[in-house]
Structure 1
Amino acid sequence: DGGFMMNSQEMETAVRLGLNMTVLILNDNSYGMIRWKQANMGFKDWGLTYGNPDFVKYAEAYGAHGHRVTSAAHLQELLAHTRDTPGVHLIDCPVDYSENDKILNIDIKKISKEM
């Protein structure tokens, strides 16, 4: 979602050009990759979390189709639907990276030290 917001105005270009495409936003309300890297280097989490707009309405404001994932099965259905339906689609997919952060920044370091 952080990366998308840096270039989200390109939704207008895609709609204007009549493209058939799907934008999948992995929405964690932060700059997740930067948070992981900084946590891995021992930096405090500062200024990397934020509130997002309603991405479904955002897409619709540009004339695109907005979708929000409600479950893993629903994501699979939405991907098939957007693949088979012409136009510009945006899928807002909420994600929780907390377990990934634990694995990548804590567990792997612990296992490496034990080897």
Structure 2
Amino acid sequence: MVQLLEVTDVSAGTTCCAPLVKEPLGQHDAENLAARLKALADPARLRLLSIVASSTDQEACVCDLIDPVGLSQPTVSHHLKVLTTAGFLTRSQRGTWAYYRLVPDALTSVSAVLVDA
């Protein structure tokens, strides 16, 4: 069975959809957003962020993050440092362990750039 696709004529200068943002990003904002998106562009980091976000009080000890992602402690700590530097997590030291907490609205601030506000 052949399925026909409908084609939208965009030659008239109108588009079918609203733009993602109301105005273009400036250079500084684009560089900051790219750095934050780069921090998210790793499957291990996305998993770590989701584990922290779904933990009680949106906080987790690094000791509880190693087994779920199947990586060594130094590798997990590296990924958590990248997420902290990008502004998605905060870190606090309690004895020998580091605890990571999700920064409120950190993910919302990234998604807000991509939606029509």
TM-score by length of 1: 0.25
TM-score by length of 2: 0.24
Bigger Rg, which one = 2
- Structure number with greater CO (CA < 8 Å, separation at least 6) is 1
